[in-house]
Chain A
Amino acid sequence: MHVQLTDFLRAQWPDAEEIMIEEFAVLAGGYSQETYRFDARVRRSGREERLPLILRKNPPLEADILPTSREQEHRILCAVKQHTTIPVSTSYCVAHDPAILGTPAMVIERVRGSGQVSDLFNGGPAATQAENVATQLCEKIAELHLADPKKIDPDGALADPRGVGIDVSSWDRYMESTFDYYIRGYDESDFSPLPNVLDTYLAIRRNKPRPLQLSVVHGDFNPANFLYEDGNLTALIDWENCHIGDPREDLGWMKHMDLLSNTNVFGSVKENGGFLGHYNKITGFNVTEEEVEYFRLFGAANIAIPVLGAVKKRVDRKHTELLHLYLMQPILVSAFAWAQMLGYPMPAGGE
């Protein structure tokens, strides 16, 4: 990998006289892309600089949980950096051709900051930073939702990044085409008959909330996808599921994952009465708690389709990766949370 990566970077940075890859190591965590950290020592015009970098590589296609385009992620990162104040990694280059690094890959800046989000909450060692970091997260996601989609997505690639027939010509068409995708997707992801999952998809279709303007949504806005340092948000990461959608999707998914991860991003914002109040003050969207609850299910379904599909591929023995069996753990947790949200009667004492 060292040799191929060095050759790739040389081709990208022809002005560099010398490039050395150091401290190359796999990064644990994250279910989708293969992620590695490394430093590149780059000598240009006799001056040497050390670049902290990350290599994000597609997994082999059959084992890919959320097949997404590195080229598209590169373009999103560049556009978000150019048109907003949201802190994101600089994306340096993309290797489209799988012959270069084995699978399509991208090289991005390794932003400083901690990803140990659990330290921020429940009396953790960084608890004093939680309010500031959560407030900044709230402000930055609001900024994304208010950003002009034409600037972030000038070629319209975020309208239907999975290529599943999503129609963003109006809010109603977006919701209906997304429900069609969910219900169609059920048949491609039923590794075991899952009547409760189908019930969820059909129930959210029957109970749509009020329309809201479509915007660019992060698509995986959750407590594992940001970095912080000294009380500041240093990066919002993992933009691979970014798409045009209902901004409440990001709020619902953060609330959902906050609860499942035992973190407290939502509860840590104090300004304007809390996360939702602060968000509404900035955006004027007047999102209600009930709508956030609805979009917990809607957003979870959006992630569930590829995740359940990935488990089905493993059960059907398209490959033998362990990760896809391990995914049963979050699936069981989500099934429990979904059932609670839809009001399935639960035995006294819950879990």
Chain B
Amino acid sequence: MYTAPTTDDLIEGVIIALERDILPACTSQKAQVGVVMAQAVLQMARQMIPVQLQYMCEEHNQMTSLFREIGELIGDTPGPEADRIRELAQKFGNRQQFPVVPPTTEVMESHRELAQGLVDAIRNLDVLIVQGNDGANQAILRFREQFGPRIARDFATMVAGAGMAGRG
């Protein structure tokens, strides 16, 4: 994955293009309204993406606690409803908690620092390879072993299925 452009950069870019390039060319009122709605939906996605996974993990863990609390509060209350609540509390309250997901900005910054560190390492490995250092050669191969699958995954994740726009 690249740390830039971010998903936020990409979505914001589309919102700007809709405003500047597409909206002025829309001749029907329906199309104009459609563009404005599309912008609003994209803005919503823009705000959701950086926090969605973090919030969902947090809420997931809160809900498992809630089930446990509800089960305790119902206690030994008799009756079919209470039985069903105890069953739900048992089923969901014991579910394993997800690990805490760090904020996107924190992950991006740390990822960027590591990737930049690899850039610096590769510059120095190049000098050692030219000097005939076999360890440096092995290190480059090790780097490629890790990056090959990563590049393939980026390709599979991000390249649009419809192919590239352009001439012919």
**A65 to B: closest C-beta gap in Å:** 13
Contact B122 A202 (CB under 8 A): yes
CB neighbours of A332 from chain B (8 A) = 154-155, 158-159
Which residues 8-67 of B have a CB within 8 angstroms of A?
9-10, 13-14, 16-17, 20-21
- Cβ of B116 < 8 Å from any Cβ of A? yes
- Cβ of B98 < 8 Å from any Cβ of A? no
Contact A29 B167 (CB under 8 A): yes
Contacts A206-B126, A224-B167, A330-B164 given: A343-B144 contact, CB under 8 Å? yes
Contact A199 B144 (CB under 8 A): yes
CB neighbours of A343 from chain B (8 A) = 144
Contact B156 A351 (CB under 8 A): yes
Q: Residue B168 contacts which of A191, A224, A311, A346 (CB distance < 8 angstroms)?
A: A224
Complex Cα gap A171–B20 (Å): 47
- Cβ of A125 < 8 Å from any Cβ of B? no
Chain A interface residue count, CB cutoff 8 Å, equals: 46
Complex Cα gap A343–B151 (Å): 12
Contacts A345-B148, A347-B149 given: A192-B9 contact, CB under 8 Å? no
Q: Fill in one digit per residue for A304-342: 1 if any B CB lies within 8 Å of its CB, else 0.
A: 000000010011000010100110111011011001001
Q: Fill in one digit per residue for A205-231: 1 if any B CB lies within 8 Å of its CB, else 0.
A: 110000000000000000110000000
Complex Cα gap A117–B168 (Å): 5
CB neighbours of A315 from chain B (8 A) = 4-5, 9
Complex Cα gap A28–B168 (Å): 10
Contact A329 B164 (CB under 8 A): yes
CB neighbours of A347 from chain B (8 A) = 148-149, 152
Q: How many inter-chain residue pairs (CB < 8 Å) link A and B?
A: 129
Taking beta carbons and an 8 Å cutoff, which residues of B are in contact with A? Answer: 2-5, 9-10, 13-14, 16-17, 20-21, 112, 115-116, 118-119, 121-123, 126, 129-130, 140, 143-145, 147-149, 151-152, 154-156, 158-160, 164-168
Chain B's closest residue to A325 (CB) is: B13
Chain A's closest residue to B11 (CB) is: A325
8 further A-B pairs in the complex, CB-CB below 8 A; given A206-B126, A333-B164, A335-B155: A31-B166, A192-B2, A198-B123, A314-B13, A322-B14, A329-B158, A344-B151, A345-B144
Chain B's closest residue to A322 (CB) is: B17
Contact A192 B167 (CB under 8 A): no
- Cβ of A277 < 8 Å from any Cβ of B? no
- Cβ of A163 < 8 Å from any Cβ of B? no
